Structure 1
Amino acid sequence: MKRLPLLWALLLCVLCLPLSAQDRSYTEGPVMEVTAVKVMDGQFDHYMTHLQGPYKRVMEAQKEAGIILDYAVYSTQARRPDEPDLYLTVVYPNMAAFDGLRDRSEAVSSKVTGQSTTQANAAYADRGKMRQILGSNLIRQLKLK
């Protein structure tokens, strides 16, 4: 008999959990990866050519494969030498999209570019002459109800 009140309390908590989730004023939406890029002096046009070519082809293939929802390139004016010139954004459907992402995206990239992982890594290092990655953030859209 002593367990009955505890059982009722536990049952009440379990039943209230779905209700509290429904009471939220938002739903969790897509996740955007925002990468800050500092372009080296005199390399802006070269880097933009890379973005227009191989980068765009890979991003479009990832969209077609359902890996990403969208991508974009934004320019900004750096106020200080250590600030970015560009932001690259990639939109994923949700956080679960990051599970196994490397394997899925590398398969698409190698199909589009014809490069092995080793070759792709070397090309990534070569792009270091054109730009410096300052960092990345993940941001999630909260859709208001």
Structure 2
Amino acid sequence: MKRRIAWLAAGLLLLSLAAPAVAQDRAWSEGPVTNVSSIRVVDGQFENYMDYLSKNWKPVMEEAKKAGYVLSYAVFSAAPKTPQEPDLYLVVTYPNMATLDGMFEKMQPIQQKVTKLTYREADEASGKRVVMRQLLGEELLREIELK
């Protein structure tokens, strides 16, 4: 009986040592996570929306970078083929998926510090952006880093 338990324990030990080795044999690893927001700017509102992004969104993103919540952010213009497609993309890259946990609680103090708005005022201002742009959707992408 003791011999059987010893063999079982040895087998489990070998399995536990082999698991990390298998993970190291992968040709890839999980990388940063990127959120892409697809935006359709309302006709005649491009300059207003760019002003908003420059004066509000960018400073918040800069503070989030300093805090380590954001690796990078960018705004991309696009040439849509139809009126239903986005003409602007807001792209924010986070260090990993875990960073997104509790993101509201992390970002609220930063947003309040930068914009000087309470949560309720920021929510109201967000609703007013509808006259400038329409959020068509968001996509969350995880980079796969090849070894």
Tell me if both proteins adopt one fold, taking TM over 0.5 as the criterion.
Answer: yes
Matches within 5 A, 1:1-145: 1=1, 9-145=11-147
Count residues in correspondence. Answer: 145
Shift of 1:10: 4.0
Looking at structure 2, the residues matched to 37 and 23 of structure 1 have their Cα atoms a distance apart, in angstroms, of: 40
SS in 1 for 2:108: helix
Looking at structure 2, the residues matched to 63 and 5 of structure 1 have their Cα atoms a distance apart, in angstroms, of: 52
- Residue type of the partner of 2:33? V
Shift of 1:62: 1.1
Shift of 1:13: 3.0
Looking at structure 1, the residues matched to 9 and 130 of structure 2 have their Cα atoms a distance apart, in angstroms, of: 61
- Residue type of the partner of 1:141? E
Shift of 1:80: 1.1
SS in 2 for 1:133: strand
Cα deviations by residue, 1:70-96 (Å, 9 ceiling, x for unpaired): 100000011111110101011111111
SS in 1 for 2:138: strand
- What's the % identity of the aligned pairs? 46
Looking at structure 2, the residues matched to 87 and 6 of structure 1 have their Cα atoms a distance apart, in angstroms, of: 56
SS in 2 for 1:28: strand
TM-score in terms of structure 1 length = 0.92
Looking at structure 2, the residues matched to 35 and 83 of structure 1 have their Cα atoms a distance apart, in angstroms, of: 12
- Residue type of the partner of 2:79? Q
Looking at structure 1, the residues matched to 88 and 62 of structure 2 have their Cα atoms a distance apart, in angstroms, of: 19
TM-score in terms of structure 2 length = 0.90
CA-based RMSD: 1.5
Unaligned runs of 5+ residues in structure 2 are: none
